Every structure is written in C-alpha cells, then in structure tokens.
Chains A and B, each alone.
Chain A
Amino acid sequence: MERLSGEKEQSVEAFGWAARDSSGHLSPFVFSRRKTGEEEVRVKVLYCGICHSDLHCLKNEWHSSIYPLVPGHEIIGEVSEIGSKVSKFNLGDKVGVGCIVDSCRTCESCREDQENYCTKAIATYNGVHHDGTINYGGYSDHIVVDERYAVKIPHTLPLVSAAPLLCAGISMYSPMKYFGLTGPDKHVGIVGLGGLGHIGVRFAKAFGTKVTVVSSTTGKSKDALDTLGADGFLVSTDEDQMKAAMGTMDGIIDTVSASHSISPLIGLLKSNGKLVLLGATEKPFDISAFSLILGRKSIAGSGIGGMQETQEMIDFAAEHGIKAEIEIISMDYVNTAMDRLAKGDVRYRFVIDISNTLAATRS
C-alpha cells in the first residue's frame, strides 16, 4: 500500500479509497487523520452513499479537485471516540455526516443555522481544514468531525438506506420547506429521477404535496408512479404532454446537472411559481426576461441545508419511514459503480458497505 511522501502526517492512521488524478479512478489509499479534538467525535464509517458530486469531483469537472481525493459525504457511522467537551453524542451513537464539516460559526448564515451558505463553509472532502490539511471523505474507515456537523440517526431509521439522506435528502427537503412547496394545496414538479429526485418524491408525498416527476424518457414512469408514489409523470420531450401541463405547478425542483433548457420548465409553472435549481450546471442558462415577468415567476438556487435543518430532516424521515432506494455495493465495485452512475444506471443511489468490505481491500 502506498503512503504518499510529503503529506503531513497526522496522528491516527486511516484507510480508504482515493483517486490520484482526473481519470477519477479510485484505489486503496493509506493516509492519516487528526486526533479527536475536544469538541469532536471520531466516527467509524459503516456506510457511505455515492453522490453524483463525488463523480464530478473525481473527474475534476469543477476545476478545483485536490488529489489524492477521497470522496464521500453521505456517511453513516458509529461514534468510536468523543472529545472531552462533546455534549451531543455518546460512544456507540449512530450518526450521520453530510457535505460540510465546518464553517466560520460567526457570520449571519452560521448564526441563523444556515452553515451551508457560509462563505467559509468547509467541505467534507476536498475542503481544507483550519490546520491546512486536506479533508478526506467517507470512502474510508473513519472520520473525525466537530459535533456541530454531525447528526444523530434515530434507531427507527434503517442505517444503510439513511446514508443518501445526508446529501440527497437534505438537498430536496430544504427547498421544499423554504419555498413553501409543502401541503395538499401545492403541486410540485421534480425534474430528473435520480438520487435526489427519487428521495424528493418521497418527501413530497410525506408533506402531502401533489408531485409530478418530469423526465426526458418514459423509462422510469412505472418506478415513479408505483414504487415511489408520484401522482404524475411527464415526459419533457413530449410536446403535447408538456403543453397540457403548462401553468399547473406551484414549484419545480430541478435536480438535473447536465446542460438542459429551463424555458419549458418555466412554462409549467403557475403564476408566482418558482423554479429551484439544484444541479451543478457549469454553463449558464439562457432565460427570456418575458418568461419570468409574465406570471411573476422566479428562479432560485438551493444547496443542501444547515445542520439544524439536516437533523430535522432526518427526524422527519424516521417519523415517516422515508428511505432511499439503494443498491448496496462492496468497496471494490466502486469504479464500476462510477461508470454506471455516469450513465444514470442506478435505481437510485449506490451505497458502499464500508464496514464489511473496505478492510478486505487492504493488502
């Protein structure tokens, strides 16, 4: 097993899988993590979901990847060590760690429990910790995190299918609440039926909201309607269907990250409707000012959620029995999983069984 020279040695050895370059190919990687600080917990990783962001980052699509890169920000684990000032957790607690592991804690966003919008928020992986070390994510045996940035997993929530809630779940829950798309008098459209989209359908139904899945093909209509319980399925490439659905939605959550036109989506909105963009699309969208002005429509963005809201979302999911549709994989399947994810070939989230399959890959 290689140990990269020149890397600052920390106190505790760690093992995971990393990519070394923008090919994104992952392989075994020995590294180290810091000692558990006073307000930190050490978490033995049980499961880690594979988010599309992991793939974007592995391939350096956002031009900010630092290699070697250990992805993973949908982490479910068990507390194995607690710092002396930790009050939220006990040894053995099941916890989740999501997309951020720190923030400035003093700005308006941090004070209003919106750490995700802090301009100094630090990402769970590929972010830089205060001591200058690179953060490595959840495709590893353990992680160390400040207690503020971990959430408790209620015992009623099955662990493996809870993993995707830490990113996909909060990414859908937060905008539905913030933009008022909850309740029986609301109709929400969800564009794209992948990791985020499918969880969004489940949250929407738990909120009592009418939900229509908008997809470019008919392939997932049975899943959407029968398995996930969506009220409708709209094929965006079918002109007649799109025309009939114009002006019917109070809000649309667009999870698609690939380049696409949003003008037809604006047409689906009722007056005062909101289109919420989540997908990390690099190319700007072309919008006609008319399409927003006629009908007082708006386009907003949203990104994950703050820690308090993430806990609220987890508790809500436990109460309503919301879990992700997942395919559990072993660590050594991860490169194949990434290839399949790139083609959208997963129903609907891969989750790596870390605790049972990672150690075996260490030779």
Chain B
Amino acid sequence: MAMLSENEHPVKAFGWAARDSSGHLSPFKFSRRAIEEKDVTFKVLYCGICHSDLHNVKNEWGITSYPVIPGHEIVGVVTEVGTKVTKFKVGDKVGIGCMVGSCHSCANCKDNLENYCPKMILTYGTKYYDGTITHGGYSDIMVSDEHFVIKIPDNLPLDGGAPLLCAGITVYSPLKYYGLDKAGMHLGVVGLGGLGHMAVKFAKAMGLKVTIISTSPNKKEEAVDHLGADGFLVSRNIEEMQSAMDTMDGIIDTVSAVHALLPLIGLLKTNGKLVMVGAPEKPLELPVLPLLLGRKIVGGSGIGGIKETQEMIDFAAKHNIVADIEVIPMDYVNTAMERLLKADVKYRFVIDIANSLKPI
C-alpha cells in the first residue's frame, strides 16, 4: 500500500499516517498530484490536531480507509500557483480546513454552503475527483483547488490560527446562523475543550455574556480568569443549574458523549436555542414539553462554507482571536492522541510540521 501511495502522483510527499485501527501514526511516504491551473501548492508549517482526527485514525465511525493521513487544520506558505489562480500568489500565508472539493453546481455550493454539498470532498480520507484518496495536513505539502484555500491575514499567528480552520468555523457558523451573535445576549457553552474555548472567545468578541457549563469544577478558574468567561456552572450541581434556569438566549453544546438535554433546555429563556456541534453517536433523549412551553429549539451545525470560513478568519484576525495551543513535534503525535483522548490539553495540540516533520 505504501508503494502504491508513493507512486500514485508525480510529486513526492511525506507525512505521518495511521495504517490500522490501532490509530498508531508513523512516517509515511506518499505523493501529491501535479498542480493544475486552478490549484495552489503550499508548504505546510503547522497542523492542528482535531478530535475528528482521533476518531478517524481509530475507525470509530466505521468509514476509515487505511492508510490515512489526518489533519484538517492546516496552515502554510504558498510555493506555487496554477496558471488560472487569481486569489493567491507565492509567499502568501494560507490555510485549508475540512474540505478540498465539492460539486460547484448544486444549490448548496451556489449558496456558499459547500460543507452541505452531497459531493463534498473532505481534506482526508475521501475520494478525490481523480479517484485517489485525499491525504491531510500531517504532511509536508498540500495541493488544493484555490477555491478551498483560505487567506490568513498577516497579523494572525499561524500556530494559534491553525485550529480556527475547523474548531473556529465549527462554532462561528452556528453563532451567526442561529442569531447568537448580538451584543448583550447570554450564551452558554457546554464543554471546555477545543471547540468550547473557541466558542467563548468568539462570543466574547461579539459582545455576549458567556457562561461555561462543565462537569469539571477544576476548569472554573481557567475559564473565568484566563478565557474571560463571565460565569461557570458545574452541570452536576443541581442548585447552580436551577438558579441559572431561564437565563440564556442560546447554548453551544460541544460535548460528543451522550448526555442529558433536559437541564440544558431548562437554562434557555423563551425562544432559546440549543445548538449541537458535537455529535454523539447515539440518539439523545429529547423531552418535548420543555421545548413547547418555551418555544425552544435544538438545532445542529457542521463546520461552515468557504466564504464563511474566510469571514471567520478575518474576524479572528481583527479581534486577535487564536486558539490556546500546545505546540508539539511530529514524533509526539501518538502521545498527543492519547492525551487528547483524556482531554488532557489546553485546548488544541498543533504540530510544528515545518520544524519537525523529517522525511525518512
């Protein structure tokens, strides 16, 4: 398989891949396609580790095709542009998130909602137009259609900016779509991890009051003193939860484990919105009466389109929003995955690709 990947395309490339459902990552020689007229090639400098990468390498969703090079929070510097590229030039700082292709002709694509295109191509683990499998950002170079490349403003640090490309857009898009972006509103954020801490930062920048809802009391000081949250509720503390009932305009729920919705619905005011951005594998219990009595909703959201991702990056640059990260060398990635599983990171690992990914 390794030989096949190495010879699939003309441009030699190197990365780290998982070869089986143990999820163990190791050095991997492969190849990238030749640049076409609308493509951009860039040298990868940093890549964030998203929890989806962990799900994928371990085949937890049952869709993984090995070997897989994960990574969809990729930033770098343009090294070559195709003849018809208009948006980028060599030397530009750029990024790629979760998608590298879509059909460009359906209603969703035309509405700048490529993330909802039925033929959307993910940055890794999906068949590209030429039938080969896409490989992600735990690698030295990326070649992508310019449509899916995001311009990174000069003042945005690349390492802290990388996680915005998935975690950032995943929380920014629903804040906008569900109208939870108005100054003075009260937003709850369930779960304080990669997604949760980004939600706090964006919401504060939009002028909202933010309360974190967490199972871990020991995250309180961090949340309030460091992230700037206005309040902190321990979800198992019934008194705290009850005193906060009917106080929130919306809640962004980042928790992927199965958990109770009833207490969260109770925190919402009339017309309140509970937005799920984590995706538990099993259905959750939905108590209907509280939805009715308060005209409340439970909605979902998944990443965002390219136009909105660019808008989010520009907003982040304007408001100096970056992820809180722990930069690691490539060969720490397996340890990082183990720590990620235990949520032992504040709040995103970012691989220093440029300085630590060495070809074998």
Do A and B originate from a single complex? no
